[in-house]
């Protein structure tokens, strides 16, 4: 009995010295109001413009972590800070269980602590990962008249060619690809068009903490090619004229909780840079290196995983996050979608083959709280991409590729209707899908038809008014004139938004013809013109 007691005590001692992952959440942000008053210290002008278009206010989530809080945790003996999130007001730390728990009693600004291993504390939430990036499978000028070559079927299946023919090829749209690495993107001929037109705007390797993002696993290179790859007469991505940020957050060798925190960091960076669409062919559920970190199906509620909580905030900032549903559809132990695809407002994409049949590996919904997932489908079985080695089109399988194929067309669609919000864009796409009225657990709402979606949004009668409106002068000084036929002015409303997204002036009806703007402070404003369900937004400068 004494030997047994000694063994138990010894094991408990070892547990106390084992290195654990945890998130330390702070109570507040004392400096938030200072940052909010100077928004360009937090976000780019492009990011602020995106907020203004969608009438999204700045809030404390946009402010950085309190520096003094961060530094005190960072300088604590026995604690290693590995990542941080302003959106969730938290830092990702490693240390012994005892040292991490001691942070809550040592610092009054610590709100709570969540261990990646849920068994360590009653208030812990788990952070797990199944790399829908297909970790298992990995071991596997505006042109609108394209010769799609091998990518023809995966584009035409969605009627992406219809958008391209209208000139909506992603030009002016910013897409962030969050993935496992981008080797050879800086050298392959298939990405020369992106390089020559300065469409790769930048990036970062969050895993290595390096500015060299042309490194890591080739999965990200393959993913990017389905959106922006181009080989004349052989291959075209779904948004060949979009601009890109490339972020590596996935360590393809290891499956650890830190990767979720790095993903949230990258999403925050994408938001600050004014990104419109994020593609994430990543997911985290029940395949960690350490099984104690794994999620259960009950955790697939869009609110439990750290990455899901971060993604939810990202959508609330006005971005569209397109995420692979996962490749576990025929896995006996786990067949479900993976966070962050479980978030209600994240656009989760499953996979079909070239004949529109569901791919057997495509993960199932619904979420644990019984919401429809995936949202939509695109070709992911036998999908064509650019090989990172040969630089030629090859076929591969996975929702890792149906997701970016979809993301590119989503960006083209939003280019066509920039005044719709991110949530409106996603809903229009869902409504165009072939199973919208009869969704299933594996197909969700089915395969979208972007030509139908375009026709639904475009109302000739409502849109025609905007062809007859003239707004001048710009820059404005003391007055602004809106010139249009009287019958049109009777049915419109205008709103001026300042850089913080606040309405500072409103007019409606014939009162909109000549507007006194002398009371407005000098700066940048957005003028939103509304008629019925349609809107147009114009950027104005007040001298």
Question: Percent of the chain beyond pLDDT 90?
Answer: 69
pLDDT of residue 531: 75
pLDDT of residue 474: 78
Owner of token pair 């395969």: 447
Q: What is the CA radius of gyration of the chain?
A: 25
Q: How many Å from the N-terminal Cα to the C-terminal Cα in the chain?
A: 85
141 pLDDT more than 60: no
Active centre residues (catalytic): 179, 219, 400
pLDDT of residue 491: 77
Distance CA 238, CA 407 (A): 8
Q: Is 454 exposed, middle or buried (0-12, 13-18, 19+ CB in 10 A)?
A: buried
Q: Hey, what domains does the chain have and what are their CATH numbers?
A: 135-457 (3.40.50.200), 463-542 (2.60.40.3080)
Alpha-carbon separation of residue 380 from 121, 151, 157, 402, 444 (angstroms)? 40, 12, 12, 4, 15
Q: Which residue has the higher pLDDT, 139 or 419?
A: 419
Beta carbons of 383 and 356 less than 8 angstroms apart: no
Owner of token pair 């829908």: 132
Q: What tokens appear for 5 in the block?
A: 């007691």
What's 275's DSSP letter?
A: -
pLDDT of residue 511: 67
DSSP conformation letters of 327-347 = S-TT-SS--B--TTTTSTTSE
Q: What angle do CA 269, 58, 341 make, to 5 degrees?
A: 50
Please state, as a whole number, how many other Cβ atoms lie within 10 Å of the Cβ of residue 526.
20
Contacts of 299 (CB under 8 A, 6+ apart): 126, 285, 305, 339, 368
Q: Which residue has the higher pLDDT, 134 or 119?
A: 119
139 pLDDT more than 70: no
Distance CA 276, CA 271 (A): 8
- Confidence band for 182, pLDDT divided at 50, 70 and 90: very high
Chain CA centroid to CA 307, Å: 11
Mean pLDDT of 73-98: 97
- Confidence band for 234, pLDDT divided at 50, 70 and 90: very high
> Please, what is the angle between helix 450-457 and helix 422-432, to 10°?
120
1 pLDDT more than 50: no
3-state secondary structure of 410: helix
Owner of token pair 């050879």: 184
pLDDT of residue 9: 46
pLDDT of residue 192: 98
462 pLDDT more than 90: no
11 pLDDT more than 60: no
Distance CA 337, CA 432 (A): 22
pLDDT of residue 468: 67
Mean pLDDT of 486-510: 81
DSSP conformation letters of 431-460 = HHSTTTTS-BTTTBT----HHHHHHHH--H
Q: What tokens appear for 398 in the block?
A: 């996975």
Owner of token pair 């104690």: 292
Q: Which residue has the higher pLDDT, 124 or 449?
A: 449
Distance CA 537, CA 526 (A): 6
Mean pLDDT of 189-194: 98
pLDDT of residue 288: 75
Question: Percent of the chain beyond pLDDT 70?
Answer: 89
What's 218's DSSP letter?
A: T
Distance CA 168, CA 450 (A): 12
pLDDT of residue 202: 97
Average pLDDT, the chain: 88
* Strands ordered across the beta sheet of 479-483: 470-472, 479-483, 514-516
360 pLDDT more than 50: yes
Question: pTM to 2 decimals?
Answer: 0.82
pLDDT of residue 12: 47
Condensed to tens digits (0 to 9), the pLDDT of residues 306-319 reads: 999 999 999 999 99
């Amino acid at each position: 009995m004494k030997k047994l007691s000694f063994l138990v005590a010894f094991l408990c001692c070892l547990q106390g010295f084992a290195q654990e992952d945890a998130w330390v959440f702070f109570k507040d942000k004392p400096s938030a109001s200072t940052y909010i008053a100077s928004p360009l210290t937090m976000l780019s002008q492009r990011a602020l413009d995106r907020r203004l278009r969608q009438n999204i206010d700045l809030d404390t989530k946009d402010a950085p972590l309190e520096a003094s809080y961060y530094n005190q945790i960072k300088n604590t003996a026995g604690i290693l800070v590995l990542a941080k999130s302003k959106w969730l007001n938290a830092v990702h730390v490693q240390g012994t269980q005892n040292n991490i728990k001691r942070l809550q009693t040592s610092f009054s600004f610590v709100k709570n602590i969540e261990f990646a291993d849920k068994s360590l504390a009653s208030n812990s939430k788990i952070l797990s990962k199944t790399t829908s990036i297909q970790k298992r499978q990995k071991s596997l000028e505006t042109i609108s008249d394209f010769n799609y070559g091998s990518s023809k079927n995966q584009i035409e299946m969605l009627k992406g060619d219809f958008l391209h023919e209208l000139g909506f090829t992603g030009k002016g749209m910013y897409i962030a690809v969050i993935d496992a690495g981008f080797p050879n993107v800086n050298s392959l001929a298939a990405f020369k068009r992106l390089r020559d037109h300065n469409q790769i705007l930048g990036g970062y390797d969050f895993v290595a903490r390096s500015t060299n993002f042309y490194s890591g696993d080739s999965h990200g290179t393959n993913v990017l090619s389905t959106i922006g790859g181009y080989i004349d007469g052989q291959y075209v991505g779904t948004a060949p004229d979009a601009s890109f940020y490339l972020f590596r957050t996935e360590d393809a060798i290891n499956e650890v909780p830190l990767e979720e925190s790095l993903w949230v960091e990258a999403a925050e960076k994408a938001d600050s840079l004014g990104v419109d669409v994020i593609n994430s062919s990543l997911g985290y559920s029940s395949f960690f290196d350490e099984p104690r970190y794994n999620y259960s199906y009950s955790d697939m509620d869009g609110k439990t995983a750290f990455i899901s909580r971060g993604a939810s905030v990202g959508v609330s900032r006005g971005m569209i996050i397109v995420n692979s549903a996962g490749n576990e559809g025929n896995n006996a132990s786990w067949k479900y979608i993976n966070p962050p695809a479980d978030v209600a407002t994240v656009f989760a994409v499953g996979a079909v083959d070239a004949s529109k049949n569901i791919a057997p590996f495509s993960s199932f919904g619904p979420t644990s709280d019984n919401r429809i997932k995936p949202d939509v489908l695109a070709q992911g079985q036998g999908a064509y991409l650019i090989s990172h080695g040969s630089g030629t089109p090859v076929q591969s399988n996975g929702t890792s590729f149906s997701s970016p194929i979809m993301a590119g067309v989503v960006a083209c669609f939003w280019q066509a209707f920039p005044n719709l919000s991110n949530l409106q864009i996603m809903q229009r796409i869902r409504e165009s899908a072939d199973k919208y009225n009869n969704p299933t657990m594996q197909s969700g709402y089915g395969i979208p038809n972007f030509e139908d979606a375009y026709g639904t949004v475009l109302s000739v009668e409502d849109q025609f008014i905007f062809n007859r409106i003239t707004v001048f002068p710009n820059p404005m000084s003391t007055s602004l004139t809106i010139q249009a036929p009287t019958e049109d002015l009777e049915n419109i409303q205008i709103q001026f938004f300042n850089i913080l997204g606040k309405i500072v002036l409103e007019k409606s009806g014939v009162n909109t013809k000549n507007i006194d703007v002398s009371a407005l402070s000098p700066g940048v404003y957005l003028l939103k013109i509304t008629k019925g369900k349609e809107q147009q937004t114009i950027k104005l400068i007040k001298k």
